[in-house]
């Protein structure tokens, strides 16, 4: 993901859910937290969803139709391919809890337009078609 390509859409996996998210910024500074191919840490915005364990927080049909969605922002989200090297693990710990504390509880991955059916899908498909058209011209 290049810095010039912002904003873009990626997928965030958080709390057992995978959701489309808008990239607000990218940070390449911390080498220990980059993905396998140098993917940066991202600040992501997405529509907050009630957890499966919170059925009382799920909106009714009427509330879903008229309510303004609650936006959640996560900072410094690592790429799904991220792994700490052995030196980092020696310094900061190698148990699953210690790694999770350093890595964070969310991760991002590339957005495959065909993967999730959302209103964004139509726009992304149009942009993809326009880019292909420009490339062939």
Q: What is the pLDDT of residue 20?
A: 92
Least confident of 9-13, 25-29, 71-75, 116-120: 116-120
Task: Determine the pLDDT at residue 45.
Answer: 95
Q: What is the mean pLDDT of residues 17-38?
A: 84
E strand intervals along the chain: 9-14, 17-27, 41-47, 71-79, 106-110
Each residue's pLDDT tens digit, 44-56: 999 988 776 777 7
Predicted confidence (pLDDT) at residue 121 exceeds the cutoff of 70: no
Report the alpha-carbon distance of residue 8 to residue 46 in Å, rounded.
Answer: 12
**Do the Cβ atoms of 124 and 110 come closer than 8 Å?**
no
Residue 4 has pLDDT above 50, yes or no: no
Q: Which residue is it, tokens 């008229």? A: 66
Tokens of 69: 């969605």
Q: In the chain, how many domains are there? A: 1
Structure-token pair, residue 22 = 């808008």
Retrieve residue 120's tokens: 């964004």
Is 0.85 topped by the overall pTM?
no
Spell out the residues 6+ positions from residue 79 whose beta carbon is closer than 8 angstroms to its own: 34, 35, 36, 39, 40, 107, 108, 109
pLDDT at residue 2 in the model: 45
Give the single-character DSSP code of 80: T
Domain limits at 38? 3-136
- Mean residue pLDDT of the chain comes to 79
In this model, does residue 24 exceed pLDDT 70? yes
Give the mean pLDDT of 6-32.
85
């Amino acid at each position: 993901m290049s810095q010039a390509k912002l904003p873009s859409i990626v997928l965030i996996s958080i709390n057992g859910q995978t959701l489309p998210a808008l990239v607000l910024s990218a940070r390449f500074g911390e080498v220990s937290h980059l993905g396998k191919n140098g993917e940066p840490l991202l600040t992501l915005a997405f529509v907050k969803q009630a957890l499966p364990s919170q059925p009382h927080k799920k909106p009714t049909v009427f509330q879903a139709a008229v309510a303004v969605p609650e936006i959640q922002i996560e900072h410094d989200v690592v790429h799904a391919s991220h792994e700490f090297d052995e030196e980092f693990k020696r310094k900061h710990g190698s148990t699953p809890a210690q790694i999770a504390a350093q890595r964070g509880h969310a991760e991002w991955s590339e957005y495959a337009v065909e993967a999730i059916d959302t209103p964004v899908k139509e726009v992304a498909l149009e942009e993809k078609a326009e880019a292909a058209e420009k490339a062939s011209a």
